[in-house]
Amino acid sequence: MLSVRGLQAAYGASQVLFDVSLAVEAGQVVTLLGRNGMGKTTTIRAIMGLTPAIGGDIAFEGAAVVGASPDAMARRGIGLVPEGRQVFPTLTVRENLVATAANRLNRRDPWTLARVYALFPRLEERHAQFARTLSGGEQQMLAVGRALMTNPRLLILDEATEGLAPVIRAEIWRCLALLKQEGQAILIVDKNLSVLKRLADRHVVIEKGRTVWSGDSGDLERDAELVRRYVGV
């Protein structure tokens, strides 16, 4: 589905990504691990077209997509839940969900307002509130719901549980597990190894802009010591 090979990216003159490779297959949950500042978010941004890639290949659904604009990537079927949530504060919860809703890939059983509300009952309770009045956790749920309403082939979550209360985190993890059961492909950037080990199929570790390790959850168990050194939490 998504295949990234030898990805390089830079902010102006300072190169951040040197050699990042990762792959997500249909129905898989893949994690992107690494310490802060190692290039996880930049990798996501480069895939999404928000930061231009200066080298390497990105293929999505078999098509080379290096250089595609963010909106083109979203229309191809990537739903991004960005770091820091970034809901639209002056739209209501419902408006945030429906404003960009789409089913461009003509899914047979698409995400609807009702399904998102069923997944996050909290959003239904608050449907008429302005998004800026929501708690951090609720905004995160809204950001996930908003991405789902675009009916993406691949959902990308950048630090989706960062800074949230443990109860809310658990809620988000529960939903991601449900999504996985439904066959949703997901790429997650997070640091919560213990949960990710159970949830994800494959893991990719990056260090200073390079992929230094990848494997499945079994490999992760075996190389626990090594991975811990890279992720270092």
Summarize as ranges the residues that interact with another protein (CB under 8 A): 48, 50, 69-71, 73-75, 79-80, 82, 86, 88-91, 95, 98-100, 102, 104, 130, 132, 146-147, 150
In the 8-state DSSP scheme, what is residue 35? Answer: -
Min separation Cβ 31 and another protein, Å: 20
Closer of 133 and 135 to another protein (Cβ): 133
What is the layout of strands, in order, in the sheet containing 14-24? 63-64, 53-60, 2-11, 14-24, 210-216, 202-207, 29-33, 185-189, 154-158, 78-81
Closer of 47 and 200 to another protein (Cβ): 47
Cβ atoms of 17 and 8 within 8 Å: the answer is yes
Q: Which residues contact 173 (CB under 8 A, 6 or more apart)?
A: 161, 192, 195, 199
Min separation Cβ 94 and another protein, Å: 10
Closer of 57 and 95 to another protein (Cβ): 95
Min separation Cβ 97 and another protein, Å: 10
Q: Which residues contact 79 (CB under 8 A, 6 or more apart)?
A: 147, 148, 150, 151, 152, 154, 155, 156
Min separation Cβ 150 and another protein, Å: 6
Instruction: Report d(CA 72, CA 85) in Å as an integer.
Output: 21
Closer of 21 and 129 to another protein (Cβ): 129
Closer of 65 and 227 to another protein (Cβ): 65
CA distances from 122 to 1, 3, 97, 130, 140 (A): 32, 35, 14, 14, 11
Min separation Cβ 69 and another protein, Å: 7
Closer of 147 and 205 to another protein (Cβ): 147
Min separation Cβ 100 and another protein, Å: 4
